[in-house]
Amino acid sequence: MAMNTTIMIASVLSGLSILLLAGLLGVWVRNYRTFRTPLSLGLVAFGAVLLLENALAIYFFFSTSMLYSGDPFAQRAILVLRTLQLFAIGVLTYVTMQ
């Protein structure tokens, strides 16, 4: 069965979030190795959990589309949430790279 366009867009947004988070994790791990502060370790943990969450979301989008396929409202809600998350991660990436 072909994947719904809304869910496909949401999975692309999750993929973009993963790419940004991978970059952020690289910076945060390097900072933790340099400074050994609890804040940088917290950022590493935060980034790792969020990256895992996005990877699982993509897995579920492709493997169990039945979770979202029956309800267009749920699909739109997922798309809005993925868009907001990508925006937030984009802002965090911008600020971190400055």
Tens digit of pLDDT per residue, the chain (98 long)? 456 888 899 999 999 999 999 999 999 999 999 999 999 999 999 999 999 999 999 998 888 766 666 678 888 999 999 999 999 999 999 999 99
Q: What was the pLDDT predicted at 46?
A: 98
3-state SS, one letter per residue, for the chain = CCCCHHHHHHHHHHHHHHHHHHHHHHHHHHHHHHHCCHHHHHHHHHHHHHHHHHHHHHHHHHHCCHHHHCCHHHHHHHHHHHHHHHHHHHHHHHHHHC
Q: What was the pLDDT predicted at 3?
A: 63
Q: What was the pLDDT predicted at 1?
A: 44
Question: What's the pTM value of the predicted model, to 2 decimals?
Answer: 0.91
